[in-house]
């Protein structure tokens, strides 16, 4: 496990105490290093304890398997905490109970809640609730911020922010009766036309006092004319400032209220959508009553989700943390600002707040009027309110999780399907139109959507609500148009047919209208069959015997009437058949007392209608395990009917819950594996099944059963496995696979597109049936129309960089000038900085916008390939495969999707035109589009360091990797780098390719790399040692460095190394390089580790080479190269042989190693090996036995011994 992951896991656990660590270990304190990082790298190996409550040595004594391993004992403890908790002895349980009791007694808020609960529900309920609240408080303190997949940031848990949806069904709020509260409304008016929208929404039976602030250019009388008779309690004319600063002007007045609503009118076209979330026009009275009732209970802030098409900082800070710290210097808060990794807050400045939660904000004085602190004041709301009990509701109309890695637009696979022997069916629920029975049982207008729209997330990362995609909306099955649209979705994805749930109760039918519409509309191409849902219809939809609304009564008459009703459907040409027999699924065969009698009657009635008997399929659930037991023709699997009987462990304890739950939660990946592993053929015809998603929170709330972590990628793998099973066990005329379900939205089980996944599940089916993998798109057949317009724009930061560095500006513009996209598309800009290379056009409308957040240098095909990917993926944002020195590389899914964090760090991005999308969702990295960030230099061109970097290239080298290495040199800050490329055995084609690469790269100062071709010198054998030593002696600049063709350096590497040498007056300085895993097939860095972070002195270096060849810089003016010797035939460790002669105890800046400053990457390809960086143990053993290796090792030993003796 690498250092980054170790630190994250330990930090998240709350089990590392940095104060204890520094106080206990004085040497660490004196070294001025990060205590957590030290513990993760060295401390645990040295037996140092992470805190006063965890003893490393004692833990290892209990787990001897850790003694000689490299596993961090604290990580072992954290990852095995579930197992350990099962073996906790009684004394630890007593201690835990005592701790919880102490928490309740010492915390007045918990004690108050405990007493109230005793009075309300009794002692046992109070103990259970207090235990949950105390544990949650401890958990939220210790587990500050959760990072999903390393990159999806949720707000710091101590802020208490919970995503929430207000149910639009008025009946769901009937139990909320707010008491009368003292309410103030503050409106900062900057756009008078939008004022009426707020006032209209507030015009109801909520009593409030109105406070208004406005700039001088807006007349007070104009404001009064828009208020529809509402009196203003106080109006203040203000100077130029933000809405939050304006609120502080009325702070003394509104501090006397219980609840304050803060609004302003300085918002764009999102304004009405945002207002709808906190004062909905249609639901205003009910919604405001609900919000005030929330706030009178335990909610302290309510604000709407942030809706934006701008690129988001997933941490929420937007480089504003220092401003927030400056503002709160005078305010005492419970959380250190520096400790808050990620934050959320009312980004649009609209919110309701309990005044006592933010009173401390009213004491803040804005001293520096030149700084816009409006965002900082908004960010302070959750921070300051963290001093008070209660949670914060972030109200949603859209998705509650801002992670669209699995979102896809629709793809039509209808012409690509080749696996046509596979018939994918899905269960179809017809409960999407009001019926009298549901009106009576569940309220007027009830449909499946009623429950769906009332659901809320139960825990962090819980995907709720499931919101139907805009293409289908909250549809009603009241016309054939909906069925026709669904049939089109089926055809595009390859779904063969629907299994309609058929609700028959001894002649009583419900929800039968949709399939009757289908029967009456023969032009709708939707193959179908029925599944008789022969269970009781209950209020809880569980089919049990409690609270029955419609019950099943079985008889001969019922069997006859049932099949007679189905005859017209059986005769329909679209009805699904096997052996020409109409297929009928039976949901509960165990419930039918005399199934044989039913089957005989069905056969007889069908014969009278000139139809073959039905092909009856038993759904294998509720005790049914073999269709032969019921004289049926086949059986179909029912996923999760027994919740895997504990074969898959519940993960509820691992999740951060928003409230106490009784839910049952399984991991999707393990559920899929559980069913995939059931690979033995059955002694009957067996139709396999699978789920895309499953989560019945909408029906059962805190008692839900759900799977978590489902993804289209894993679903596609499961479907592929299921197809393999079906082909192995079934004849080709009955290879049916059943998916649960097409549209069970309240069960969280649907193939239909939603706003979170889009069409990805339907597309996954299409891909499988078309033999397409879940991979990055193939761009080879994508064409760029010459009419496509691409607008280039610069952020203010990027523009400042170019204006301050003329050399960088020339390099950047050259990257654009050299781009192949200019052959295909029309590039233009509204920024005159581009005027020398592309047209300036303020009128054109672009299909795509290329936004440069920072300056970067990039390959000639970068923009072209990004544009092709944008065309292939429609609404996705495309970022380049950029090289970054941020510690942990961003993760890339199999299909190239990335998170907001990757987008935020990217120097530039290609975005679809704003008018073509409602919201930017999916973000893809174009792996074939290389780019590297380039910072402005602090030095003029004549002052920059001159460096020669030696690179060795042989005939087996990957020139695309060399190109990336050269780009890293071209982007070097404060330096002019001349690559000195030495060649061995390249053929002419390779030399021509190298020449083209060199010409395409905009090197600083217009320099041209030097090339020495050693293969023309008539020397045979491996020339790596000769190229290394001879090239060094040909360097003419003061500074020299090395870089292997497949390694990379950060842009500030050379400036830092030279500054170290200048400061120390030494001949050599060091940085560190990561041991970096590289996926050469996709061209992506996938992992970084600190393997080479060892060795800090000359003695360390003598015993073990800790300096990869590109981790140091040489000042040749301080070195005597004439005394350097080498063996021309040395194949191994030739760099160590050289550096042993160059590095001395007194002439080298050994102290530079103590800074652990990382300057680049030592690349290890997943499908290739470095000579001495071999990961396979067998290959490594062979190498160590190689006679040439043993010879070269002996040479190193002899040289080292001579140095020690001297």
Predicted local distance difference test score (pLDDT) of residue 151: 65
Give me 817's structure tokens. 């000038």
Q: Which residues contact 712 (CB under 8 A, 6 or more apart)?
A: 406, 408, 692, 757, 760, 761, 763, 764, 774
Q: Which of 102-111, 589-598, 775-784 has the lowest mean pLDDT?
A: 102-111
- In this structure, whether the domain defined by 157-395 belongs to CATH 2.60.40 is answered with no
Band of pLDDT at residue 270, cut at 50, 70 and 90: confident
Q: What single-letter DSSP state applies at residue 889?
A: P
Q: Which of 360, 331, 399 is nearest to 251 (CA)?
A: 360
Q: Which of 919, 909, 898 is nearest to 851 (CA)?
A: 909
Rounded alpha-carbon distances, angstroms, from residue 114 to 285, 294, 423, 581: 33, 20, 57, 64
Q: Cis peptide leading into 382, omega within 30 of 0?
A: no
Helix (H) or strand (E) holding 439: helix 436-442
Interval 374-379 mean pLDDT: 93
Give me 607's structure tokens. 């014969």
How many Cα atoms sit within 13 Å of 509 on the Cβ side?
Answer: 13
Contact call for residues 591 and 505 (beta carbons, < 8 A): no
Whether residue 286 has pLDDT greater than 60? yes
Predicted local distance difference test score (pLDDT) of residue 7: 83
State the helix-helix crossing angle for 513-520 and 480-493, rounded to 10 degrees.
80
Helix (H) or strand (E) holding 858: strand 856-858
How many Cα atoms sit within 13 Å of 457 on the Cβ side?
Answer: 24
Which contacts qualify for 1027-1032: CB closer than 8 Å, 24 or more apart? 1027/950, 1027/952, 1027/982, 1027/984, 1028/950, 1028/952, 1028/1126, 1028/1134, 1028/1135, 1028/1138, 1029/1124, 1029/1126, 1029/1138, 1030/982, 1031/950, 1031/952, 1031/980, 1031/982, 1032/950, 1032/1121, 1032/1124, 1032/1138
From CA 312, how far away is CA 900, in angstroms rounded? Answer: 7
Predicted local distance difference test score (pLDDT) of residue 82: 45
Segment 71-121, tens digit of pLDDT: 999 999 988 754 333 333 333 344 445 545 655 555 555 565 566 556 555
From CA 652, how far away is CA 667, in angstroms rounded? Answer: 10
Mapped onto helix, strand or coil, the DSSP state of residue 674 is: helix
- In this structure, whether the domain defined by 423-769 belongs to CATH 3.30.470.20 is answered with no
Interval 21-46 mean pLDDT: 85
Place of tokens 């691409």: 790
**Does 789-933 match 941-1205 in CATH topology?**
yes
Predicted local distance difference test score (pLDDT) of residue 1021: 82
Interval 284-312 mean pLDDT: 88
Segment 828-885, tens digit of pLDDT: 999 999 999 999 999 889 999 999 999 999 999 999 999 999 999 988 999 999 998 8
Segment 744-768, tens digit of pLDDT: 999 999 999 999 999 999 999 999 9
Segment 194-219, tens digit of pLDDT: 898 888 888 767 889 999 999 999 99
Give me 82's structure tokens. 């579930």
HEC states along 380-411?
HHHHHHCCCCCEEEEECCCCCCCCCCCCECCC
Q: Which of 986, 1008, 1006, 1005 is nearest to 997 (CA)?
A: 1008
Band of pLDDT at residue 332, cut at 50, 70 and 90: confident
Q: Which residues contact 860 (CB under 8 A, 6 or more apart)?
A: 818, 819, 820, 1000
Predicted local distance difference test score (pLDDT) of residue 1136: 96
How many Cα atoms sit within 13 Å of 5 on the Cβ side?
Answer: 16
Predicted local distance difference test score (pLDDT) of residue 229: 85
Segment 1070-1092, tens digit of pLDDT: 999 999 999 998 999 999 998 88
Which has more confidence, 174 or 508?
A: 508
From CA 101, how far away is CA 508, in angstroms rounded? Answer: 57
What is the secondary structure of 922-971 as a DSSP string?
-EEEEEEEEEEE-PPPSS-GGGSEEEEEEEEEETT--HHHHHHHHHHHHT
Helix (H) or strand (E) holding 1164: strand 1158-1165
Place of tokens 């890339």: 892
Predicted local distance difference test score (pLDDT) of residue 129: 52
Helices (H), 240-373: 243-249, 251-254, 271-278, 284-297, 321-327, 355-358
Q: Which of 863, 966, 873 is nearest to 908 (CA)?
A: 863
Predicted local distance difference test score (pLDDT) of residue 518: 98
How many Cα atoms sit within 13 Å of 838 on the Cβ side?
Answer: 26
Contact call for residues 926 and 881 (beta carbons, < 8 A): yes
Rounded (to 5) percent helix, strand, coil in the chain: 40, 20, 40
Interval 216-241 mean pLDDT: 92
User: What class is the 789-933 domain?
Assistant: alpha beta
In the chain, domain spans: 3-87, 92-142, 157-395, 423-769, 789-933, 941-1205
Mean of the per-residue pLDDT values for the chain? 90
What is the secondary structure of 49-103 as a DSSP string?
-SBTTB-HHHHHHH-GGGTTS---HHHHHHHTHHHHHHT--HHHHHHHHHHHHHH
Predicted local distance difference test score (pLDDT) of residue 122: 63
Longest dimension (CA), the chain: 109
Instruction: Name the CATH topology of 941-1205.
Output: Spore Coat Polysaccharide Biosynthesis Protein SpsA; Chain A (3.90.550)
Whether residue 795 has pLDDT greater than 90? yes
List the beta bridge partners of residue 563: none
Residues in the chain: 1206
Give me 459's structure tokens. 């825990």
From CA 978, how far away is CA 947, in angstroms rounded? Answer: 6
Place of tokens 């609700």: 503
pTM as predicted: 0.87
Contact call for residues 944 and 973 (beta carbons, < 8 A): no
Band of pLDDT at residue 136, cut at 50, 70 and 90: very low
Q: Which of 1117, 1115, 1111, 1116 is nearest to 1155 (CA)?
A: 1111
Torsions phi, psi of 837, nearest 5?
-125, -25
Q: Which residues contact 407 (CB under 8 A, 6 or more apart)?
A: 756, 757, 758, 760, 897, 921, 922
Rounded alpha-carbon distances, angstroms, from residue 686 to 146, 528, 534, 629, 804: 42, 19, 21, 14, 71
Segment 617-664, tens digit of pLDDT: 999 999 999 999 999 999 999 999 999 999 999 999 999 999 999 999
From CA 317, how far away is CA 376, in angstroms rounded? Answer: 9
Predicted local distance difference test score (pLDDT) of residue 632: 98
Whether residue 934 has pLDDT greater than 60? yes
How many Cα atoms sit within 13 Å of 1151 on the Cβ side?
Answer: 9
Q: Which residues contact 414 (CB under 8 A, 6 or more apart)?
A: 491, 492, 494
Q: Which of 8, 258, 3, 263 is nearest to 149 (CA)?
A: 8
Q: Which of 1067, 1047, 1082 is nearest to 893 (CA)?
A: 1082
Which contacts qualify for 1077-1081: CB closer than 8 Å, 24 or more apart? 1077/1164, 1077/1166, 1078/1163, 1078/1164, 1078/1165, 1078/1166, 1079/1165, 1079/1166, 1080/958, 1080/961, 1080/1165, 1080/1166, 1080/1167, 1080/1168, 1081/1166, 1081/1167
From CA 403, how far away is CA 226, in angstroms rounded? Answer: 41
Whether residue 130 has pLDDT greater than 60? no
Mapped onto helix, strand or coil, the DSSP state of residue 1057 is: helix
From CA 767, how far away is CA 494, in angstroms rounded? Answer: 9
Predicted local distance difference test score (pLDDT) of residue 914: 72
Predicted local distance difference test score (pLDDT) of residue 87: 34
From CA 858, how far away is CA 875, in angstroms rounded? Answer: 23
């Amino acid at each position: 496990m690498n250092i980054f992951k170790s630190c994250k896991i330990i930090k998240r656990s709350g089990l590392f105490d940095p104060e204890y660590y520094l106080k206990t270990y004085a040497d660490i304190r004196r070294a001025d290093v990060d205590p957590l990082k030290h513990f993760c790298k060295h401390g645990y190996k040295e037996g140092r304890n992470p805190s006063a409550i965890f003893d490393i040595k004692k833990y290892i004594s209990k787990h001897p398997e850790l003694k000689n391993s490299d596993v961090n004992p604290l990580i072992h403890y954290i990852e095995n905490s579930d197992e350990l908790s099962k073996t906790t002895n009684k004394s630890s349980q007593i201690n835990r109970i005592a701790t919880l009791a102490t928490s309740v007694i010492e915390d007045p808020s918990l004690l108050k809640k405990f007493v109230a609960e005793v009075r309300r529900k009794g002692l046992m309920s109070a103990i259970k609730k207090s235990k949950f609240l105390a544990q949650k408080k401890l958990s939220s303190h210790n587990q500050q911020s959760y990072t999903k997949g390393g990159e999806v940031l949720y707000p710091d848990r101590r802020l208490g922010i919970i995503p929430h949806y207000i149910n639009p069904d008025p009946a769901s709020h009937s139990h909320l009766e707010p008491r009368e509260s003292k309410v103030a409304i503050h409106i900062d008016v900057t756009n008078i036309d939008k004022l009426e929208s707020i006032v209209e929404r507030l015009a109801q039976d909520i009593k409030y006092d109105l406070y208004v602030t406005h700039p001088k250019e807006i007349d007070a009388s104009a404001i009064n004319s828009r208020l529809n008779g509402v009196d203003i309690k106080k109006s203040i004319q203000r100077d130029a400032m933000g809405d939050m600063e304006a609120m502080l002007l009325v702070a003394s007045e509104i501090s006397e209220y219980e609840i304050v609503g803060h609004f302003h009118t300085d918002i764009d076209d999102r304004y009405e959508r945002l207002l709808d979330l906190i004062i909905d026009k249609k639901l205003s009275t009910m919604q405001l009553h609900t919000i005030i009732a929330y706030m009178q209970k335990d909610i302290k802030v309510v604000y709407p989700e942030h809706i934006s098409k701008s690129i988001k900082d997933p941490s929420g800070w937007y480089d504003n943390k220092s401003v927030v710290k400056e503002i709160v210097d005078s305010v005492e808060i419970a959380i250190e600002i520096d400790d808050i990794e990620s934050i959320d807050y009312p980004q649009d400045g609209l919110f309701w707040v309990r005044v006592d939660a933010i009173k401390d904000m009213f004491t803040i004085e804005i001293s520096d009027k030149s700084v816009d602190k409006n965002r900082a004041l908004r960010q302070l709301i959750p921070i300051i309110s963290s001093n008070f009990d209660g949670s914060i509701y972030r109200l949603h109309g859209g998705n509650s999780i801002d992670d669209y890695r699995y979102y896809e637009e629709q793809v039509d696979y209808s012409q690509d399907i080749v696996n046509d022997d596979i018939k994918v069916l899905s269960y179809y629920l017809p409960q999407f139109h009001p019926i009298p029975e549901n009106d009576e049982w569940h309220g007027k207008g009830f449909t499946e959507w009623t429950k769906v729209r009332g659901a809320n997330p139960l825990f962090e990362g819980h995907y709720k609500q499931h919101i139907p995609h805009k293409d289908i909306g909250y549809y009603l099955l009241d016309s054939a148009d909906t069925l026709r649209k669904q049939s089109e979705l089926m055809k595009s994805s390859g779904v063969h047919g629907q299994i309609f749930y058929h609700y028959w109760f001894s002649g009583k039918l419900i929800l039968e209208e949709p399939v009757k519409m289908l029967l009456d509309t023969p032009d709708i191409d939707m193959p179908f069959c029925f599944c008789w849902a022969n269970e009781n219809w209950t209020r809880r939809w569980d089919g049990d015997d409690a609270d029955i609304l419609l019950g099943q009564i079985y008889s001969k008459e019922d069997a006859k009437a049932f099949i007679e009703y189905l005859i017209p459907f059986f005769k329909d040409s679209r009805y699904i058949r096997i052996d020409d027999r109409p297929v009928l699924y039976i949901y509960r065969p165990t419930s039918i007392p005399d199934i044989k009698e039913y089957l005989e009657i069905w056969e007889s009635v069908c014969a009278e209608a000139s139809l073959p008997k039905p092909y009856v399929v038993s759904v294998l659930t509720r005790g049914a395990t073999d269709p032969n037991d019921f004289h049926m023709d086949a059986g179909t699997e029912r996923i999760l009917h027994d919740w895997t009987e504990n074969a898959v462990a519940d993960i509820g304890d691992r999740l951060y819950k928003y409230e106490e739950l009784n839910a049952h939660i399984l991991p999707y990946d393990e559920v899929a594996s559980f069913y995939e592993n059931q690979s033995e053929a059955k002694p009957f015809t067996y139709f396999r099944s699978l789920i895309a998603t499953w989560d019945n929170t909408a029906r059962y709330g805190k008692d839900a059963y759900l799977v978590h972590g489902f993804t289209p990628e894993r679903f596609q793998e499961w479907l592929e496995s299921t197809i393999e099973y079906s082909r192995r066990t079934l004849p080709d005329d009955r290879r049916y696979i059943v998916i649960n379900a097409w549209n069970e939205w309240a069960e969280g089980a649907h193939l239909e597109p939603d706003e979170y996944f889009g069409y990805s599940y339907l597309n996954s089916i299409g891909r499988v049936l078309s033999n397409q993998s879940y991979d990055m798109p193939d761009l080879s057949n994508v064409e760029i129309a010459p009419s496509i317009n691409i607008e280039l724009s610069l952020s203010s930061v990027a523009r400042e960089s170019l204006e301050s560095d003329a050399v960088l500006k020339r390099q950047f513009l050259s990257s654009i000038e050299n781009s192949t996209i200019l052959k295909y598309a029309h590039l233009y800009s509204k920024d005159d900085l581009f005027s020398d290379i592309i047209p300036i056009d303020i009128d054109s409308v672009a299909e795509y916008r290329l936004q440069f957040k920072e300056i970067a240098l990039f390959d000639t095909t970068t923009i072209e390939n990004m544009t092709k990917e944008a065309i292939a993926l429609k609404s996705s944002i495309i970022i380049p495969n950029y090289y970054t020195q941020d510690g942990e590389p961003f993760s890339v899914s199999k299909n190239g999707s990335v998170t907001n964090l990757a987008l935020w760090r990217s120097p530039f991005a290609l975005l679809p035109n704003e008018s073509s999308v409602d919201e930017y969702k999916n973000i893809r990295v174009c792996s074939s589009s290389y780019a590297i960030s380039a910072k402005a230099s602090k030095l003029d061109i004549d002052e920059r360091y001159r460096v020669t970097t030696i690179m060795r290239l042989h005939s087996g080298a990957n020139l695309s990797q060399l190109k990336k290495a050269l780009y890293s040199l071209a982007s070097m800050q404060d330096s002019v780098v001349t690559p000195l490329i030495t060649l061995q055995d390249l053929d002419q084609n390779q030399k021509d390719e190298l020449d083209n690469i060199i010409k395409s790269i905009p090197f600083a100062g217009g320099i041209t790399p030097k090339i020495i071709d050693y293969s023309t010198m008539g020397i045979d054998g491996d020339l790596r040692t000769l190229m290394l030593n001879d090239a060094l002696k040909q360097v003419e600049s003061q500074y020299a460095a090395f870089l292997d063709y497949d390694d990379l350096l950060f842009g500030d590497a050379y400036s830092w190394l030279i500054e170290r040498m200048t400061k120390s007056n030494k001949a050599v300085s060091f940085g560190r390089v990561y041991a970096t895993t590289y996926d050469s097939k996709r061209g992506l860095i996938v992992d970084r580790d600190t393997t080479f972070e060892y060795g800090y002195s000359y003695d360390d270096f003598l015993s073990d080479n800790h300096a990869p060849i590109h981790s140091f810089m040489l000042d040749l003016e301080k070195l005597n190269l004439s005394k350097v010797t080498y063996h021309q035939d040395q194949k191994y460790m030739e760099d160590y042989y050289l550096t042993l002669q160059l590095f001395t105890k007194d002439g080298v800046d050994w102290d530079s190693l103590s800074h652990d400053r990382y300057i680049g990457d030592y690349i290890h390809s997943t499908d290739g090996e470095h000579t001495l960086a071999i990961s396979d143990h067998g290959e490594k053993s062979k190498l160590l036995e190689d006679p040439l290796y043993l010879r070269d090792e002996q040479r190193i030993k002899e040289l080292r011994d001579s140095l020690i003796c001297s």
